Amino acid sequence: MRTSDDVKASYACKHEITELKKRINSNKAECFLYQCLNCGKGLDTVKKYTISQLERDSVKLFDYSLIEANDKKRQNAWKEYHDEKDLEQQSKNQEWWKSYNEYLQTPKWKAKRLSVLNRDNYICQGCLKNQAKQAHHLTYDHVGDELLFELVSICEECHIRIHFKKE
């Protein structure tokens, strides 16, 4: 799996190919500088008087489309990275739920569930009035090795309220 450093490296530029360009500033002044032809970044400025008039007249305008293309490349790299991370997380979630549902079928879980229901006299600890039919995890940090105080007896109605909050 790629790291964020890998993503940064995918669009990092060493500015190896540059060309002298002319940029017109907001105050209409001409500015001469080297532009990276890969990423579009404006680099070292050049004093106007060091360039002959003939050369100044032939210098191409600063190419902003290079910057836009590099920005797009950067955005695509990050989108791809986040899409990969999302898929990885979905896969982890599916694996976790598969393992959790398998655990709920084990004799170990069934014994813990029964112990919790007996401890709470089959009374829902959510509403304290309905008959409890389920043992609910207060935390999922220790699933498979949970302590009994991390479980609570609960009725169907309260269990639904806990897991399916109105949005």
pLDDT in tens, 18-49: 999 999 988 989 999 999 999 999 998 999 88
Q: Please state the separation of Cα 124 from the chain's center in Å.
A: 38
Write down the residue that tokens 């959790």 correspond to.
100
Q: Work out the pLDDT band at 114, boundaries 50, 70, 90.
A: very high
Contacts of 103 (CB under 8 A, 6+ apart): 109, 143, 144
Residue 127 CA to chain centroid, in angstroms? 38
* Lowest mean pLDDT segment, chosen from 11-15, 41-45, 70-74, 93-97: 11-15
In this prediction, residue 142 has a pLDDT band, given cuts at 50, 70 and 90, of very high
Average of per-residue pLDDT across 112-134: 97
Q: What is the rounded (10 degree) CA torsion for 52, 58, 61, 66?
A: -110
- Give me the amino acid identity at 66: L
Which residue, 150, 151, 146, is CA-closest to 108? 146
**Confidence band, pLDDT 50/70/90 cuts, at residue 117:** very high
CA 48 to CA 31: how far, in whole Å? 7
